[in-house]
Amino acid sequence: MTELARIEDAALLTGQGRFLDDLDPLPGTLVATVVRSPHAHARILSVNLDRARAQPGVAAVIGPEEILATLKPFPLSVSAPTPYYPTATDKTRFVGEPVAVVIASDRYLAEDAAEFVEIDYEPLAAVVRTDAALEPDAPRLHDQAESNVATDRTFEFGDVDGAFAAAQHVVSRSYSFPRYSSTPMECYSVVADWRDGREGPEVTAHANFHGPFSMAPVVAGALGIPTSSLRLVVPADIGGSFGIKSAVYPYIALMAVASKYAGRPVRWTEDRLEHLLASSSGSDRLMTFEAAVDHQGVVSALRVDLIDNVGAYLRPPEPSTLYRCFGNITGAYDIDAVTIRARAVVTNKAPTGLNRGFGGQQLYFGLERLMDDIGVVCDIDPADIRRRNMVPADAFPYATPSGGIYDSGDYHSALDLALENADYEGLRKQQRIVRENGEWMGIGIATIVDPSATNIGYVGLATPVQDRTAKRGKSGSTEHVRVSVDPQGIVSVLLGTVPQGQGHATVARDIVAEHLGLPVAQVRPRVEMDTATTPWTISSGSYSSRFAPLLTSALLEACDRIAETIKLAGSVLLGADPAALELIDGTVRVADEPSRSVAFRHAAGLVHWDPGSLPEGVSARLYEEAAFTPPQSKAASRTDQINSSLCYGFVADVVAVRIDKETLKVTIEKLSSVHDAGTILNPTLLEGQVHGAMVQALGGALFEEMTYSDAGQPTAGTFMDYLCPTSAESCFPLVSGHQETPSPLTRLGAKGSGEGTSMSLPVAIANAVADALAPEGIEITSMPLHGNVLHQLLNTTKGS
């Protein structure tokens, strides 16, 4: 497909983007500030809002009393006695948890008045560490719960015990994955308006919320209104998210209540302190991976034990971090038997949620560190150990033991390309020389399956099969689009895909133009999500890399129908059989006689102006809505298997690092990354996704961690301590390679590509650091890997 410039860029680069904070959709809007808990864990003894309400400019102040009077707890993904409201009601369970909201005429006055909110707390013992939260005598977060374990399920597929009994080697390792985020440039933003209508309350909310729209009924459920009484409007421009903004939804409910009590629309704009304290992040995870291995390094079975630390509440869609990769839990490897124990614990940290890679970086940190450790045990090179275990190219479609059906791939050739691009042999030679000089250099590999177009049915797995309501399963991943043609032949594409900078409009324009034989200027995409008017369903939204596989498939279906109507109109104008016509160069023409043609716009004009001339029975219809619903996305089976994504791409990363002996700084010397995302729709945008995911991975591997003291106080609450890599840290030699094995399940063969490297590169870097420090006898079992951490590891080893 031709490579064209992004149509989004000119406005964004000249400051003409229109983000929610630039818009004033509801005149007379007041401004809110949120009063937050300074305690990690405390009982609320009393709340006195009277003094705050008396401050200048204050319209209303709400607290737990107003929340409990207006809202029900948010419906959870699993039945757990851990009620979740947008504010604390009985206890505060993390630092930064909302407790009250002050609504005033501007933010300064709101923050001034917030200082007069009086809350009497009784501090309680806090628990932040996952292992500590599991202890029987650990402080209990939720009084009605029996423990801090919010969900605990075990699954077994295949003869795992038999495989382990027959194994030559059993390799078992425990790992700890850190909590980090993606820190979008724009923070959360909500404008909410509550009105009492004839049929009950009606809420309109403008928010930079990008789905999953399964959260719309969650918010409506808390508000106690039908989903259709909650109108969500999303601005066309969202300043990044990477999944993080899916968790703006509790604030939609909160600001709706604020509007109810203020009697006016209410705006809340999250600031960076609030964002780092209390928005969202990926979950941190403790995990144990155990492999049954034969003498040639071939893995026959896995035992996987995952414990996610989801923070204070099981905020939907959690515990989905555990399940998003369920169908691909065995990764790129041909392994027939697996047991999985999946637990989520609640602790006095902020709740977690979607973060680019969602569950993938956690899973692959364990699986890919383990593959290296298996290589060490078997004395097999890390590239070779992967080759011996990867799903062979002739095995597709490949069914995994846990229910995944890998649609297409050629993992061996992709790995070979990554190794070749890295000059793997050359790097190993260089490493031998470097080691002889007493310096540290390491090479790390990760080979991962990159799932896209989530089947939301995996959410059902958190509930045991006997408790899942019969005939009320969850499945699917549908995407919608509307295409219309105006009387001048201009094609409009309504995209309800709520992008946050990905360039959906550019890709949609190019595909429609190509498919309808039009110049790109004749196609005008419009990004708009208004749940009152835009077609949508539960699975709508921008997450799990859905655009490329799903939306483009829906787009082609809509274009097919538009083309059919245009050809019918063209056949009237040309006096030709519509089946003999083609759309090309902005015309409708007879395929065999190119001289017989008519402009596309004239054919469109006929449908608008002269529908009477159309053949009888033809509807004068130049607007088409299409939904793409892949039949492969089904609900979880009775045996707990699920095809948790529609498409499964592949990433192979090979990275070389040097570690400076003086500063212990880890420097990336070379990165070779090969992606197979099926058919490439736009090479520039694909490369952009790869780069972005790389920088996110770099953050997780070397820089970022949302740390807490044991008492539950966040210790990385500003950008002074939460260190995102900047451009200065993100410059390294990169060879990016691509391979295309089209998906047979999507119209264009495209798979998602937004997340791959964010899953693979963290562990590839960790593997490289482990390789570099192997001569020192150091094991790498966690991240981030910066000088202070390495200093401690090196000196602990020396001391022992």
Partner 1 sequence: MKAAPFAYVRPGTVEDTVVELELEGAKVLAGGQSLVPVLAMRLGRPSSLVDLSAVPELTKLSRDNGSLRVGAMVRQRQVQYDDLARAVPLLGLALPWVGHREIRSRGTVCGSIAHADPSAELPAIASCLGATMTLRSTRGSRQVSAGDFFTGAMSTVIEPDELLTEVSFPVASPDEGFGFGEFARRHGDFALAGVAVRVRTTGETVTANITCFGVADRPASADVSTHLRAALDVTGPEPDEADLRRALAAGPAEEIAAAVVDTVGDAHASPGYRRQLVAGLLSRQLSRAFVKSRRRESGVR
Question: Where do contacts with partner 1 occur on this chain (CB under 8 A)?
Answer: 107-108, 111-112, 271-273, 662-665, 703, 707, 715-716, 720-721, 723, 725-726, 728-729, 786-788, 791-792, 795
Shortest spacing between CB 34 and partner 1, in angstroms: 12
| Cβ closest to partner 1, residue 110 vs residue 558 | 110
| Cβ closest to partner 1, residue 666 vs residue 681 | 666
Q: What is the rounded distance in angstroms from the CA atom of residue 380 to the CA atom of residue 203?
A: 61
Shortest spacing between CB 111 and partner 1, in angstroms: 5
Shortest spacing between CB 670 and partner 1, in angstroms: 21
User: How many residues would you count in the chain?
Assistant: 800
| Cβ closest to partner 1, residue 698 vs residue 780 | 698
Composition of the chain by helix, strand, coil, percent to 5: 35, 25, 40
Q: What is the rounded distance in angstroms from the CA atom of residue 191 to the CA atom of residue 24?
A: 9
| Cβ closest to partner 1, residue 634 vs residue 665 | 665
H or E stretch covering 373: helix 360-378
**Which pair of tokens denotes residue 683?**
């090479």
Shortest spacing between CB 720 and partner 1, in angstroms: 7
| Cβ closest to partner 1, residue 481 vs residue 659 | 659
Contact by Cβ (8 Å): 681, 687:
no
Asked if omega into 578 is within 30° of 0 (cis), the reply is no
Q: Which residues of 749-780 are buried (b: 16+ CB within 10 A; e: fewer)?
A: bbbbbbbbbbbbbbbbbbbbbbbbbbeeebeb
Which residue(s) pair with 87 in the sheet? none
Nearest Cα to 330, choosing from 395, 380, 381, 420? 395
3 state SS of 236: coil
Shortest spacing between CB 507 and partner 1, in angstroms: 33
| Cβ closest to partner 1, residue 276 vs residue 772 | 276
3 state SS of 621: coil
Shortest spacing between CB 687 and partner 1, in angstroms: 24
Q: For residue 194, give Cα distances in angstroms to 161, 231, 255, 531, 760.
A: 57, 11, 9, 16, 44
DSSP per position, 387-447:
HHHBPPGGG-SEE-TTS-EE----HHHHHHHHHHHHTHHHHHHHHHHHHHTT-EEEEEEEE
User: Phi then psi for 625, rounded to 5 degrees?
Assistant: -105, 140
In single-letter form, the type of residue at position 376 comes to: V
Shortest spacing between CB 707 and partner 1, in angstroms: 6
Q: For residue 85, give Cα distances in angstroms to 71, 98, 120, 314.
A: 8, 10, 20, 11
Residue with tokens 């196609």: 523
User: Phi then psi for 29, rounded to 5 degrees?
Assistant: -75, 135
| Cβ closest to partner 1, residue 335 vs residue 793 | 793
Q: What is the rounded distance in angstroms from the CA atom of residue 337 to the CA atom of residue 161?
A: 9
Please state the separation of Cα 717 from the chain's center in Å.
23
- Strand-by-strand arrangement of the 98-104 sheet: 58-62, 98-104, 30-36, 266-269, 189-197, 200-207, 230-234, 529-530
Report the relative pairing of strands 523-527 and 491-495 from DSSP bridges: parallel
Contact by Cβ (8 Å): 71, 250:
no
Shortest spacing between CB 418 and partner 1, in angstroms: 28
Q: For 434-515, where are the E strands, in sequence order?
A: 440-454, 479-485, 491-495
Shortest spacing between CB 788 and partner 1, in angstroms: 5
Shortest spacing between CB 188 and partner 1, in angstroms: 14
| Cβ closest to partner 1, residue 612 vs residue 799 | 799
| Cβ closest to partner 1, residue 23 vs residue 723 | 723
Burial class (CB in 10 A: 0-12, 13-18, 19+), 345: buried
Q: What is the rounded distance in angstroms from the CA atom of residue 150 to the CA atom of residue 78?
A: 9
| Cβ closest to partner 1, residue 716 vs residue 783 | 716
| Cβ closest to partner 1, residue 36 vs residue 480 | 36
In single-letter form, the type of residue at position 601 comes to: R
Q: What is the rounded distance in angstroms from the CA atom of residue 455 to the CA atom of residue 474?
A: 9
| Cβ closest to partner 1, residue 483 vs residue 664 | 664
Shortest spacing between CB 703 and partner 1, in angstroms: 7
Shortest spacing between CB 42 and partner 1, in angstroms: 21
| Cβ closest to partner 1, residue 609 vs residue 719 | 719
Q: Give the number of other CB atoms < 10 A from CB of residue 351.
A: 24
3 state SS of 639: coil
| Cβ closest to partner 1, residue 379 vs residue 662 | 662
Shortest spacing between CB 728 and partner 1, in angstroms: 4
Shortest spacing between CB 207 and partner 1, in angstroms: 20
Please state the separation of Cα 405 from the chain's center in Å.
21
| Cβ closest to partner 1, residue 443 vs residue 695 | 695
| Cβ closest to partner 1, residue 135 vs residue 660 | 660
| Cβ closest to partner 1, residue 11 vs residue 185 | 185
Contact by Cβ (8 Å): 675, 744:
no
Shortest spacing between CB 548 and partner 1, in angstroms: 33
H or E stretch covering 134: helix 130-134
| Cβ closest to partner 1, residue 64 vs residue 98 | 98
Contact by Cβ (8 Å): 715, 722:
no
Shortest spacing between CB 52 and partner 1, in angstroms: 15
Shortest spacing between CB 178 and partner 1, in angstroms: 12
Shortest spacing between CB 89 and partner 1, in angstroms: 26
